Amino acid sequence: MSLLTPEPGLLFWMTISFGIVVIILVKYGFPPILKSVEKRNNYIEESLKSAREAKEELSKVKETSELILADARKEQRVILKEASRLSEQIMNEARENAVIESEKMITKARTQINADKEEALKSIRSEVTKLSVALTEKILREKLSSEKELMGMIDRLLDEIEISKS
């Protein structure tokens, strides 16, 4: 069977051509292909990893931000409570102060009024006294122009004094 006996000529050519193919492809053909595939795979893997990390980071950030927010809200509540308490206190104080002040002012005004009243009464009294003296003088001068009248007057006055004495 000639089909089963290898021909030396074809063996020779096959060795040469296959050898050249192997040398070229093993050196320049497949390594760059495999390397670039590997590079791409590494890139994809890294990208996935970094994406996952970023996601984790993001969720962490979200968590912390939520925590911060909750804290802030708590703080806010506390501050608000404090503020309302303070304002109430201030208002109460103000109210008390106002009451005290007004009372003070009222008493002051009352004493002033009393003093003024007293003074006014005093001055009125002295004025009245002066007036009455003057009036009395005038009246007396009018009435007592005659002797008779003067005598009658003195009598009446004496009577009155006597009556009031008794």
Partner 1 sequence: MRYKFNYILLLVIMFYASSLNIGAANSVIDHPAPEKAVVEEELNVKELILGHLADSYEWHVWSNGEKHITISLPVILHSKSSGWHFFSSSKFNHGNSIYKGFQIASKGEYNGKIVELDGEGNEIRPLDLSMTKNAAALIINSIILIAIILAVARVMKRDPLKSNKGFTGLMEMVILMIEDEVIKPTVGKDYKRYSPFLLTVFFFIFINNLIGLIPFFPGGANVTGNIAVTMVLAIATFIVVNFTGSKAYYKEIFWPDVPTWLKVPFPLMPIIEVVGIFTKPFALMIRLFANIMAGHAIVLGLTCLVFITVSLGPAINSSMTALSVVFSVFINFVELLVAFIQAYVFTLLSAVFVGLARDDHSEDNKKVAESSVT
Decide if 153 contacts 144 (C-beta within 8 A): yes
Decide if 144 contacts 150 (C-beta within 8 A): yes
Helices (H), the chain: 8-24, 30-143, 147-165
Give 16 or 79: the residue with its C-beta nearer to partner 1.
16
Angle between helices 30-143 and 147-165 in degrees, nearest 10? 120
Task: State CA 87 to chain mean position distance.
Answer: 10
Question: What residues contact residue 54 under an 8 Å CB cut-off, 6+ apart?
Answer: none
Instruction: State the nearest-atom distance from the C-beta of 41 to partner 1, in Å.
Output: 10
Q: Of 30-38, 108-116, 117-125, 143-151, which part binds partner 1 (CB under 8 A)?
A: 30-38
164 binds partner 1 (CB under 8 A): no
33 binds partner 1 (CB under 8 A): yes
Among 9, 147, 148, 163, binds partner 1 (CB under 8 A): 9
25 binds partner 1 (CB under 8 A): yes
Give 44 or 94: the residue with its C-beta nearer to partner 1.
44
Residue pointed to by tokens 């096959």: 14
51 binds partner 1 (CB under 8 A): no
24 binds partner 1 (CB under 8 A): yes
Contact positions vs partner 1 (CB under 8 A): 2-15, 17-18, 20-22, 24-26, 28-37, 39-40, 43
